[in-house]
Structure 1
Amino acid sequence: MTASHATERILNDPVALHVRREITALSPDWSVGEALDHMRRTPPPGRVIYFYVTDSDGRLVGVVPTRRLLFAPPETRVADVMIRHVVTIPEAATVLEACEFFTLHRFLAFPVVDADRKFIGMIDVELYTGELAGELGADDPNGAAAARVGDDVFEIIGVHLTAAAQANPGRAFWGRFPWLLCNIAGGLVAAGLASFYDDVLTWKGAVLSLFIPVVLALSESVAIQSVTLTVGRFRAGTGDRKRQLRSALTEGATGALLGASTAGVVALVAAIWLRDAAVASVLFGAIGAGVAVSTVVGFAVPTLLHQFRLNPQVAAGPISLASADMLTLLIYFNLARTVL
């Protein structure tokens, strides 16, 4: 069984199989001092992230972050410092659904409850990667499966979350529409830029306008290629800073090569067709620079979105295309004004 198949199998396990049940619950009627004394007498195994509070029937009624319990006055009742609204995971949930809770809510642990809200135990963030990696690597002396499990988990969870969001038309609309406004804004700005260069467009304007679709199509194509490759790196878990720097240098060099080669082809065709060396030189310079810049834009935009915890899969494309269009047109018009 491959690591990916093993990951899928474990993610479909009931979360109850992975719950830590040796958890000492607090009573809401205790004082903070009584609660701390109780924890000293019966210390819970493993690390403590949150303290859970249950009533006399064992039902979960609240949660107390460790810091809040330690710094509250000893005479304060636990009921007065606990958080009553608790995000819980049902006992019938799968490991995959539990992992999605960590992604959606960004807590370090979650209580698990049964159908009557009775406290069963808890799972902490180690379930997200550590425990799964340990299970997959148990029969792998080289640890290769354990090394790959994190990538598998993140990719599977990401696919499930994206599919869930897109299944709702309203959520899908509001997740995508605001970023399409970037295309509208980019188009309007491009039209505005053209109005500032009407002297260029009227002087050999028919020739220059003829090649605008080619110039923009090339810059947009390389921009979206860079976006796709960059987002793929993040999904594959290869987006650390050192690799980002290497990827940036690689994309820059690739963009320069793509720009020079595509610019050479278009400029050669223009020179043979129009027999105008000036127009051919403008096309060569504009396409070469525009493609190189668009490659960098296609890498930089999803990288920045990822840093700010925004979804690069939805937002990076429209922003990159609008930016590539505007920058390429600026290069094209200014170069034309200078050379022609």
Structure 2
Amino acid sequence: MLPSLEMQRPVLEFCSMDFPVLDSSLHIGEALDLIRKQGVREKIIYFYVTGEDGVLEGVLPTRRLLTEPLEMPLRDCMIRRVVAIPTKATLLEACELFVLHKFLAFPVVDERRRIRGVLDVGVFTEEVLDFAEHERMDDLFQTLGVRSSEIRSASSSRAFVLRFPWLLSTILGGTACALLAGAFSETLEKQILLAFFLTLVLGLGESVSAQSIAVTLQAMHKSKPTLLWMIGAVRKEFVTSVLLGGACGGLVGMIVYTWKHDWLAALSIGGSVFLSTISACLLGVLIPAISRVLKLDPKIAAGPLTLAIADICTLSCYFGLAKMLYAILA
């Protein structure tokens, strides 16, 4: 929904001043002739009927104007009970009327019932969509470890303080991956083919993990992450990860075998993709949920941290499985 301060603004600020007004003394035919001469704006929902001094007397829906006999007076076919918004009302009060009456537009009138503008339901849909877009952008930035609202207004030094701590998780994760690769240097030297697919395997792990984070954060918007919820989410994500891992692992294995005709390398690389996809999916569920339990903002904590841990798990699966398979089957 819209911010509370926005909803407290006067309704007149959002009104359209281009609205059709018909005199109550006219007949349907005369009214149609007048509309043809004066022209109307593109979107007309209701025609408002006024009497002396511009006082609102009724409203005439477009369908009724087009279907009633031409000789019928407007007074006889207009709707006299008109729900109007007072000029002193706020946008929030106007919104309540739209929800209550389900109309597409309301006239805004002063103390003497003279029309001062028309409020269209499109005002709310446009404002809500604009705010929803802002929320989506803020969610995107937060999964990267920053808040867009804070960064925009921050000085250079403040922006550094906000962003650098979360980048440390990436630095530490990358360092851990380098040390891990060093520990398996002998395996890498014997099977240089593993180096060719290292970027692909890491990229797949991060992509799957990012997808799981997005799904989990969206789910936590609607429900509190209890233990029962977490068990259900992990179970569902595990099944999904097995399917994703099987598809990605099988495809990558086929690519390796087609290229190098090495079934052991295909089994090793494809199998590591399968295992790393499962671990990345589960991390994408567990870390945001645990962050919420620990009173941390899951959007900020989950992004960099999950991706760093996913990289470490991916490399562990990649090199560990290769070393084991080559030791047993080579």
**Per the shorter chain, which TM-score range?**
0.5 to 0.7
Does the aligned pair in 1 maintain the 2:230–2:286 contact within 8 Å? no
Separation in 1 of the partners of 2:278 and 2:97?
A: 43
Residue 180 of structure 1 corresponds to 167
- Structure 1 CA distance, aligned partners of 2:173 and 2:183? 15
Q: How far, CA to CA, are the matches of 1:325 and 1:284 in structure 2?
A: 17
Residue segments in structure 1 that go unaligned for 5+ positions in a row: 15-94, 96-131, 141-151
User: What are structure 2's unaligned runs of at least 5 residues?
Assistant: 10-89, 102-130
Amino acid in the other structure paired with 1:165: E
Kept in 2: contact 1:190–1:325 (CA 8 A): yes
For 1:13, the aligned partner's letter is Q
User: Residue 223 of structure 2 aligns with which residue?
Assistant: 238
Does residue 191 (structure 1) correspond to residue 178 (structure 2)? The answer is yes
Residue by residue over 1:258-288, the C-alpha shift from the partner in whole angstroms, topping out at 9 and shown as x without a partner, is 1110000000111111111100110121000
Within the candidate set 12, 24, 42, 2:7 is matched to 12
Quick check: 2:209–2:310 contact (8 Å CA) kept in 1?
yes
Does the 8 Å CA contact 1:176/1:315 hold for their aligned counterparts?
A: no
Match of residue 282, structure 1, among 259, 268, 279: 268
1:122-148 alpha-carbon deviations (Å, 9 max, x no partner): xxxxxxxxxx9xx799849xxxxxxxx
Q: 1:280, 1:286 → 2: CA distance?
A: 10
After superposition, the Cα gap between the structure-2 partners of 1:315 and 1:136, relative to the gap in structure 1 and judged at 3 Å, is farther
The alignment's TM-score, normalised by the length of structure 1, stands at 0.53
Identity of aligned residues (%): 29
Query: Does the aligned pair in 2 maintain the 1:200–1:333 contact within 8 Å?
Result: yes
Deviation at 1:8, TM superposition (A): 5.0
Alignment of 1:214 onto 2:209 = no
Contact 1:176 1:314 in 2 (8 A): no
Matches of 2:97 and 2:225 in 1, distance apart? 24
Match of 1:166 in 2: 151
Aligned pairs, number: 209
8 Å CA contact retained: 2:209, 2:280 = yes
The answer as to whether partners of 1:187 and 1:322 remain within 8 angstroms in 2 is: yes
Gap change, CA 1:269 and 1:293, over 3 Å in 2: same
Q: 1:176 offset after TM fit, Å?
A: 2.5
- Give the letter for the 1:195 counterpart: G
The amino acid that maps onto 1:291 is: T
Please identify the structure whose Cα radius of gyration is greater: 2
Q: How far, CA to CA, are the matches of 1:276 and 1:136 in structure 2? A: 70
Check the 8 A contact 2:276/2:314 in 1, yes or no.
Answer: yes
Write the letter of the residue equivalent to 2:188. Answer: L
The equivalent residue for 1:320 is: 306
One-letter code aligned to 2:301: A
Residue 339, structure 1, aligned to residue 322, structure 2: no
Any conservation in 2 of the 1:302–1:316 contact (CA below 8 Å)? yes
Which residue, out of 251, 255, 277, partners 2:237? 251
Give the secondary structure class of the aligned counterpart of 2:197: helix
Corresponding residue for residue 261 of structure 1:
247
Q: Which amino acid aligns with 2:279?
A: V
- What is the CA distance between 1:324 and its match in structure 2? 0.7
Aligned partners of 1:328 and 1:136: how far apart in 2?
55
- Tell me if the contact between 1:165 and 1:171 (Cα under 8 Å) persists in the aligned partners: no
How far the C-alpha of 1:208 sits from its partner, in A, is: 0.7
Q: Is the 8 A contact 2:209 2:306 kept in 1?
A: yes
- Give the Å deviation of 1:245: 3.0
Give RMSD over aligned pairs.
3.6
What is the TM-score normalised by the length of structure 2?
0.55
Partner of 1:225, secondary structure, is: helix
